[in-house]
Structures are given as structure tokens and as C-alpha cells.
């Protein structure tokens, strides 16, 4: 709680945030039910997050005060496996791009931000390992599946982690979109924009 304004930090962030619809870009299934462990394919071994440990699909979840639209679970693709997709966003002035993401092995790659004036900036997207490793890049642990799903069984004792990470928008210009890296190890489950407070 801010002593001067009486407004909590999380509610102050929340009112500036706009979840982005990425449903048209989802191309991978990384969440599976205990009865359908073979439905997931986060990686080449067919691992996936256990749905029973994650929020309800299509719900709004808050991580660190930031609202995200959690993807559908058990109803087709639930994430964007990064392959150079361009995500168009409502044109506006933003300070941060917040993502719910997971990566097989920790990854550091670039996101290209496009602006209305024609400029393009490369910013780093850093995502730690989903194999229950520490937050290498200082992210916030958003959700943890306490078992790992394999195609034919659920493996206890091997948690899987989804992280809340953010990418800065440093240019003082209207953002119109972002180009994801070509890196299939990185999976984006949700995107939220944080507007600049004028």
C-alpha cells in the first residue's frame, strides 16, 4: 500500500493493463488433463503441464498485480510456440509488455517492437527453464504444476513452472505490434500491455 495515495501497487498497475487477444496465434498444446496426458506436446518428448494445478481456462488471473487472460486448457492449442509470429496490438503508448511464458531450457532471445512512426526496436525476452529451475532472469513464478505429464503417464516429483516476465517498451512512440523470435523452445501463454501513465 502506498502510504501517500492509499492505493495498493497491484491495483495501480491493474488499472493500466490491457490483456491482448493472442488466440489467433496459438499453435501448440502444453497443458493436459490427467486423463489425457498424451494431448500435450510442449517439447519433443511430449511433456506438458498438469491442468489440475493451473487456473481455469479462459479465466482472468493476476500475477504481481498484472491481469492475464489464461488460455483455454483441454480445448485445442493453449500457447504460442515462438516461430516469428507478428502480434498486432491496439496502437498506444506502453511501458511494459507482460507475458506468461515457459521455456525448455532457459532462453534469451529478441522481440522486435514495431511503432506507428515506422521505427523498430529489438528488446530482450528472457525466460527461465520450465523444469522447476530457479528464476535465472529474475522472473516471478506464476504457476507451478507439481507433476510433469508425459505421453503415457504423470511423473510425480518433477514440477513444471510457468513464469511472469516483462519486456520494456523504451521508445516514446505508439506501439503497434511485436514480432516474436524464431525459437520453438519459448512458449507464450498470455500477453498483457501496461499503458504509460500520462
- Bridge pairing between strands 120-127 and 182-195: unpaired
Quick check: helix, strand or coil at residue 128? coil
Q: How far apart are the first and last CA of the chain?
A: 21
pLDDT at position 1 is 40
Name the helix (H) or strand (E) containing 14: helix 9-14
Q: Are 11 and 2 in contact (CB under 8 A)?
A: no
pLDDT in tens, 35-84: 998 898 998 888 899 999 999 989 999 999 999 999 998 788 999 999 99
Per the prediction, the chain carries an average pLDDT of: 89
pLDDT in tens, 7-33: 344 566 778 899 999 999 999 999 999
pLDDT in tens, 105-121: 889 999 999 999 999 99
Amino acid at each position: 500500500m502506498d502510504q501517500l495515495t492509499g492505493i495498493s501497487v497491484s491495483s495501480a498497475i491493474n488499472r493500466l493493463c490491457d490483456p491482448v487477444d493472442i488466440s489467433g496465434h496459438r499453435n501448440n498444446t502444453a497443458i493436459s488433463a490427467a486423463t489425457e496426458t498424451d494431448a500435450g506436446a510442449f517439447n519433443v518428448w511430449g511433456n506438458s503441464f498438469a491442468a489440475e494445478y493451473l487456473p481455469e481456462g479462459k479465466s482472468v488471473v493476476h500475477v504481481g498485480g498484472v491481469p492475464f487472460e489464461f488460455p483455454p486448457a483441454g480445448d485445442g492449442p493453449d500457447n504460442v510456440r515462438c516461430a516469428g509470429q507478428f502480434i498486432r496490438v491496439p496502437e498506444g503508448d506502453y511501458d511494459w509488455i507482460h507475458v506468461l511464458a515457459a521455456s525448455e531450457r532457459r532462453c534469451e532471445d529478441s522481440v522486435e517492437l514495431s511503432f506507428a512512426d515506422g521505427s523498430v526496436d529489438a528488446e530482450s525476452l528472457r525466460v527461465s527453464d520450465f523444469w522447476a529451475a530457479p528464476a535465472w532472469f529474475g522472473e516471478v513464478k506464476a504457476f507451478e504444476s507439481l507433476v510433469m505429464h508425459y505421453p503415457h503417464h504423470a511423473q510425480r516429483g518433477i514440477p513444471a513452472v510457468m513464469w511472469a516476465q516483462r519486456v520494456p517498451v523504451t521508445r516514446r512512440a505508439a506501439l503497434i505490434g511485436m514480432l516474436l523470435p524464431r525459437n520453438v523452445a519459448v512458449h507464450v501463454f498470455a500477453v498483457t500491455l501496461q499503458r504509460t501513465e500520462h
